[in-house]
Amino acid sequence: MNTELSRKRASPAKETSQHEIYDRICVAILEHRLRPGTKLAEERLAEIFKVSRARIREVLARLAYEQVVELIPQRGAYVAKPSVQQVQDVFEARRVIEPAVLRRLASTLTPEKLGRLREHNAKEVDARQRGDARAVVRLSGEFHSLTAELSGNSSLSRTMRELSVLTCLMIVLYDAPTASSCRADEHAEIIDAIERCDAQRAERVMLEHLEHIQSSLKLEGVSEEVDLEEILMNGG
């Protein structure tokens, strides 16, 4: 028994998966703990997550494909700093995609899906009441990803997650105030419309919501040095 226990204690810890590393970086961006322009050094990330640099390169390549990270030759990887044109492109895409998501969701709504939407909105409200700004930002972004996930279209879900993360980068880069950039009452209105199967109303509120977010951007911003290990392993 003692020999078996010693063997278990001596066995190496489970290596952090590529998916987990990707998720940690995305959540740090959603919560505005990783700011635009932050350098993501391969060697440092490999030390933090206790994985090979090859695994880190795979994660960074995926994030670069999604335009969340910029890979600069001879310099390394940096959290993206979306241009004004990219801001316009992202919101143009969202104005096309999100009404389609809501139409599909309204037509396939179940009590379980509605319950998940209400539960998520309740978390947003609670975070606002507690003054937890990071949770508010993350949950607000995740609401849009959740609607796409619940719509049942995996392509829409993947695209919406990417657009949500990019939007969070834009909000912090262009100094949009959290309170006005993504308002909880608008999310609640969207859910109410979906519950009534009123897709037109849900689409109208969503488009107004996206306009509020985009119009709150100041189209200028700055970056600063950060402690990657503190942000990615200890919640900032």
**Confidence check: pLDDT of 20 > 80:** yes
Check residues 116 and 227 and name the one with the higher pLDDT. Answer: 116
Residues 74 and 90 in one domain: no
For residue 97, pLDDT over 70 is answered with yes
One domain, residues 165 and 200: yes
Same domain, 56 and 116: no
In whole angstroms, what is the distance from residue 177 CA to residue 36 CA?
16
Q: Do 38 and 141 have their domain in common? A: no
Judge if 207 and 229 occupy the same domain: no
Query: Binning pLDDT at 50, 70 and 90, where does residue 223 land?
Result: very low
Instruction: Give the residue numbers spanning the domain of 153.
Output: 84-215
Residue pLDDT, tens place only, 53-64: 999 999 999 999
Q: Is 50 exceeded by the pLDDT of residue 43?
A: yes
Instruction: Give the residue with greater pLDDT, 183 vs 99.
Output: 99
Mean pLDDT of the 214-220 span: 80
For residues 49 and 164, membership in a common domain is answered with no
Q: What is the pLDDT of residue 134?
A: 83
From the CA atom positions of the chain, what is the Rg in Å?
20
The position carrying tokens 């278990």 is 8
**Total domains present in the chain:** 2
- 7 inside domain: no
Same domain, 93 and 156: yes
pLDDT value at residue 5: 46
For residue 11, name the pLDDT band (cuts at 50, 70, 90). very low
CATH code for position 36: 1.10.10.10
Residue 89: CATH number of its domain: 1.20.120.530
Kindly state the average pLDDT of the residues 146-164. Answer: 94
User: Which residues have CB under 8 Å from 209's CB, separation 6+?
Assistant: 182, 183, 186, 187, 190
Mean pLDDT of 99-114: 96
What number is the average pLDDT over the span 64-78? 94
* Residue 52 shares a structural domain with residue 150: no
Average pLDDT rounded to a whole number, residues 4-28: 71
